[in-house]
Amino acid sequence: MNLLIILISTSLISNVVLCQFLGLCPFLGVSKKVDTAIGMGAAVIFVITVASAITWLIYSFILTPLNITYLQTIVFILVIAALVQLVEMILKKSIPSLYQALGVYLPLITTNCAVLGVALINVQKEYNFIESLISGFGTAVGFTISITILAGIREKIENNDVPHSFKGMPIVLITAGLMSIAFMGFSGIQFK
């Protein structure tokens, strides 16, 4: 039951993008088309889930026993950068069209504060390995849900008559704000 609560909480209730406001750069930049948003979401799911597992292992079995936990941020960033390079190489070889569509935003996963934020939150909340894995996966699924919803809305907005002063990023930011308000409605959910 605890794992289900972590999964629902990280994906919906405290959504990394719409409630914690982490990872806004790829959220706003890659959400023009649903296909690209889903591709970015899949890459983020892989990176965050694997990063959560690896950073927990490094923190628990290397940093804590050696009493060098103050290096956690640097070590976590290095792990995330290596994982993003791996994803980039895999996409370049296997799905070149998605690699081209993601463009500059794929390497930006390295600096996506949501990925580092999850690793640090897992340590802060003292999650065990399975809880860290579920937290990372749930956070990434929440990111994917929010970026896909925004991409769908943005595709529909292009067919509408938007006032000139709201065209482009202003209407996207208004839409993201309204989505954030809607997702914050989940914060009233309580598990018994």
Question: What tens digit of pLDDT does each residue of 100-121 get?
Answer: 877 777 777 777 788 999 999 9
- Highest mean pLDDT of the ranges 90-99, 108-117, 142-151: 142-151
The pLDDT of 111-140, averaged and rounded, is: 93
The pLDDT of 6-17, averaged and rounded, is: 90
Please state the pTM of the whole predicted model: 0.87
pLDDT band at 62 (very low <50, low <70, confident <90, very high): very high
Half-sphere exposure for 169 (CA within 13 Å, toward CB): 6
Euclidean distance between the first and final Cα of the chain, in Å? 10
The token pair that represents 123 in the structure block: 């340590």
Mean pLDDT of the chain: 89
Instruction: Give the burial string for 135-164 (b: 16+ CB within 10 Å, else e).
Output: bbbbbbbbbbbbbbbbbebbeeeeeeeeee
Return the higher-pLDDT residue of 99 and 188. Answer: 99
Question: What is the reported pLDDT for 104?
Answer: 73
* Nearest-angstrom CA–CA distance, 188 and 82: 38
